[in-house]
Structure 1
């Protein structure tokens, strides 16, 4: 029975969840309608071996190609694909509040997470969620029921970014509590200590998890094309600055380029899947990247 979680929520919380659900559904349905038959969809299990048909077996699993060659009935047996358990790690720290478009980074990241969850549950995959800032704020266990989307959305909608980020302890706790191997998708602006970030990610990798980083950034963080005197509020307790941004642009863009280059280099070296996503991009960008990742992952398993 579907849990009626809405009766415990304030009207504004219900509204946030409803908007998130509507956005997620429309993004996924639009994304799927634009795809032709893909090796991703319907591949929740991996083929293992054949065995002879026995009374009571599901005839849908008969391999008719083998029958045409041998005149005997054989059943295709499958084994569960352990990579179909996905945990979404969503950064809800103060810096994610920044945004100059229709959605700030937090709203964009939550919508991307909701769309991914909707897609995965549609495929009957298990999805879990962890939200964090300087500590883990909420945890939703991985389940594959369609009704599980309610729990995921309510956890996302309940957060209010306010704290700084302490990434290593969060990743360490996830590694210690996620014993079953699967895919970990980190959704964050990555404004964290990089040594701590990659130390934590390597720990997850050592535990057998497949890693994907969706690096969410606002256009102005990437382009810095402000004009005129501007007041800048520092991220996570770093103060304010009033200045002409044109005097800072060259140095800022150089620092941003070095930051992105270093993150990409470290991800490539550690074989972490990485993608920068602007908040101005269509919200199915995360789905497209996940789909490409999933196809590549399955191909590497079969080789």
Structure 2
């Protein structure tokens, strides 16, 4: 078992009574492990024969007993494909105490992948890093899950966010509609992240954005520091935190509200997550919210 899933996280997942049933009427028109009437394996019900029905579905035993034609219907399970999108730009190295954004992203992604795998969903991965995109097709088996955990553990954030010229990779390969879970701090220089989100919308995927921010950057609470460096551009500025804090928080609140509205306008689910929030609560909040969404 990957070190990304410690016993506390596994217990939190186990205690979530939100597995297959919780997602039935939620995301992707409520289909996670729903049932569709068709020629499946598990019997569901009989219905009267209608002209045009496949004669192979006729139940001759029912005909012998009732002298009427009946179609035997079964339940066919359908599952969704989930792709985890991880921001691996240098700003994800930001720390609050001993915990960085990328640490939180790894644990959150691993937990969602584990939970999705238990539900029978196919899980895939995109890692957006400087210079390109790492991709894993979505599959549903524990060996694939182990490989996905390994790739999460190997992420080393650096440089800037992937440039739009590389987004063409998103259009290749399997064109199946997917649920995309984007874990990012939304730090961008030239709207490259919103260009990405607009690209994903054109593919008609369902998108969820987890916006990771640490407590110290939300509150401007960096004890003892007067000089700050941008992790991606390496630019530095001098700040008197006490004098700047009130204006900073006001601008931060404005930025977060504008971000939320921009994503709502794109019909993208948005959730701000503090990296000091318990991971199980983040999972619970997300699953509760996605259950309410409709296409």
Q: Same fold (TM over 0.5)?
A: yes
> Does 1:49 find its partner at 2:46?
no
Runs (5+) with no aligned partner, structure 1: 1-16, 52-56
Tell me the distance in 2 between the aligned counterparts of 1:37 and 1:96.
30
Bigger Rg, which one: 2
SS in 1 for 2:75: strand
Matched-pair contact (CA < 8 Å) for 2:129–2:162: yes
Alpha-carbon distance, 1:41 to partner: 6.1
Cα distance, 1:232–1:77 mapped onto 2, change above 3 Å: same
Runs (5+) with no aligned partner, structure 2: 25-30, 49-65
SS in 2 for 1:29: helix
**Pick aligned residue for 1:80 from 63, 78, 81:** 78
- The answer for the alignment partner of 2:147 in structure 1 is 151
**Pick aligned residue for 1:212 from 208, 212, 220:** 208
CA RMSD of aligned residues (A): 3.0
Matched-pair contact (CA < 8 Å) for 2:36–2:75: yes
> Does 1:19 find its partner at 2:7?
no
Cα distance, 1:122–1:167 mapped onto 2, change above 3 Å: farther
Greater CA deviation, 238-247 or 142-151? 238-247
1:83-111 Cα distance to aligned partner (Å, 9 max, x none): x1111110111100011134210110011
- The answer for the alignment partner of 1:31 in structure 2 is 13
Q: Please, what TM-score do these two structures have when normalized by structure 2?
A: 0.79
Tell me the distance in 2 between the aligned counterparts of 1:79 and 1:135.
39
- The answer for the alignment partner of 1:61 in structure 2 is 43
- Number of equivalent positions: 269
Q: Please, what TM-score do these two structures have when normalized by structure 1?
A: 0.77
Alpha-carbon distance, 1:209 to partner: 0.5
SS in 2 for 1:235: coil
**Pick aligned residue for 1:292 from 262, 265, 288:** 288
- Greater RCO, 1 or 2 (C-alpha within 8 Å, sep 6+): 2
